[in-house]
Amino acid sequence: MQEEVENRTVTLIVSGSRFTGRLLKAAISKYMAHLKEKKAKKSRDAPVIPKGKQTVKQLVGQNQGVSNLEITDPSVRDFEKIARKYGVDYAVKKDRSTTPPKYMIFFKARDADALTAAFSEYSSKKVKKASRPSVLARLNHFKDLVKNAITDHTRKKERER
């Protein structure tokens, strides 16, 4: 118990001709400012490790295994949502030399299970999206049906007497 109290004790030396309450307040506020500055400097000096989406250079610079996946579908946002959900670090690089452009996704995760779960969810989402018909296709189908429908626009006028 005594050791804990000694570790938390702060020695503050103040020189002055008369020791007043204002002098004590000023000394304590300067000490608190010093602690705050020390803490801010410590946080600035610490290297920041990026998480989630990052550049390829940052991803490779973390000295861990990086894998890649090639996607031709322009809906990369679906993968980005799922990767954030599972805590996968990734980088997206667009290859514009081909038409349509290809997307290279470089990724790494601390856990292989997280990668497996992310890719299984992404693939199931793509299969589900491909199996349902598009709204625009259904709309065009109904437009054609309405166009081809035979409608009788002639009016018949009969007078009753």
Chain centre to alpha carbon of residue 24? 48
What's the 3-state SS for 37-102?
HHHHHHHHHCCCCCCCECCHHHHHCCCCCCEEEEECCCCCHHHHHHHHHHCCEEEEEEECCCCCCE
Q: Specify the pLDDT at position 81.
A: 86
pLDDT along the chain (161 residues), means of 10: 68 81 90 89 73 81 77 78 84 84 80 82 86 87 85 67 62
**Sheet containing strand 89-95, strands side by side:** 67-71, 102-108, 89-95
| Residue 69 domain-assigned (yes or no) | yes
**Residue 42: strand, helix, or coil:** helix
> What number of other Cβ atoms are within 10 A of residue 115's Cβ?
17
| Residue 14 domain-assigned (yes or no) | no
105, 68 contact by CB (below 8 A): yes
Please report, for the domain that includes residue 98, its CATH number: 3.30.1370
| Residue 86 domain-assigned (yes or no) | yes
Count of domains observed in the chain: 1
Q: Specify the pLDDT at position 1.
A: 62
Q: What region, left, alpha or beta, does residue 49 occupy, with left being phi > 0 and alpha being psi -120 to 50 degrees?
A: beta
